[in-house]
Amino acid sequence: MQHKRSLRRYAAGFLRRFLEALGVLAVVGGALALFAPDLLKDQWWLLGLAGLLGVGWAVFSLRQKEPQQSFPSENVTIRLVAGDVFAQNASVVIGMTTTFDTEPGIIENTSVQGSLLRTIYGESQSRLDAALEAALVGAAKVGRIAKPGKTDVYPLGTVAVLPGLGNTQYYCVAYTTMDEHNRAQGTIRGILYSLDSVWDAADRHINGEQICVPLIGQGQSRIPELTAEVAVRLIAFSFLLRSRRGRFSKELRIVIHPNEIGKIDQAEFQAFLRSLVAG
């Protein structure tokens, strides 16, 4: 289904750019005909050439280039890349629930949190739990919930900062709630609030270094209105707004798994980033 949507989107973009190219060529041809009316007479081969040029321009302009935009006023850069978020040599934001559950079966093995457990903690749940417990010392709890797994509930937006190698850190943020059946639920407002909490935590910890954010609000988060394209715009906009209040990171890197990158119209996202540059 996603592949079909991507093909339809590509076809629509191709047709639009093809017609734009023909329009430009028609204007050029009209200008030539105005000043040299006999120059194009009976030159039917030019129609074929115009078609080829239109196709060439459409293909060229639709090349999938990784979006990147500098914001001089804020002195920051926003990039979107396809790859492994844990291979970026930078701090990473990890979405969790307000109970900070880590148990496989409760947490999807294919999620970013599942990758954190495998890649960084060698599938040792006890090590990850110990790191989270240490990071949450002093954090207020708002109650308990009767369910399998962890039962202590922390406020939405709570951030547990886990140490990594060198300056790398992992910002585990509670951006969804968990019910008694271990079903995670979230809202766009909750994600915005939680991102603000992450930026504040990063301001205290990373000393201006890059920060990576994966595609949030998908999968078990159960936020149907938050599509992949809305999510990347939300992340970028939130980061830029916080940077305008005070620079805390020189670069936001939104990292999308290669299997998911087709969900993003990269040309449109680049246009969105350009629209955010202060005039």
Name the average pLDDT for the chain: 86
Tell me if the domain spanning 68-275 has CATH number 3.90.1150.10.
no
User: Can you tell me whether residue 21 is helix, strand or coil?
Assistant: helix
In the predicted structure, residue 139 carries a pLDDT above the cut 80: yes
pLDDT, one tens digit per residue, over 78-102 is 999 999 999 999 999 999 999 999 9
Question: What pTM does this model have?
Answer: 0.78
Residue with tokens 């969790």: 96
d(CA 171, CA 93): 5
Greatest Cα-to-Cα distance within the chain, rounded to the nearest angstrom: 86
Secondary element (H or E) of residue 229: helix 228-245
pLDDT, one tens digit per residue, over 110-127 is 899 999 999 999 999 999
Question: What pLDDT score does 134 carry?
Answer: 97
Residue 41: partners with Cβ closer than 8 Å, 6 or more residues away: none
pLDDT, one tens digit per residue, over 35-67 is 556 655 666 555 666 667 767 666 666 665 789
d(CA 98, CA 179): 10
DSSP classification of residue 243:
H
| H helix and E strand count, the chain | 7, 10
d(CA 156, CA 176): 7
In the predicted structure, residue 163 carries a pLDDT above the cut 70: yes
Question: What pLDDT score does 262 carry?
Answer: 86
| End-to-end Cα separation, the chain, in angstroms | 39
Question: What pLDDT score does 140 carry?
Answer: 93
d(CA 212, CA 252): 6
d(CA 104, CA 118): 11
Give the highest mean pLDDT range of 21-25, 36-40, 137-141: 137-141
Predicted confidence band of residue 20 (pLDDT cuts 50, 70, 90): confident
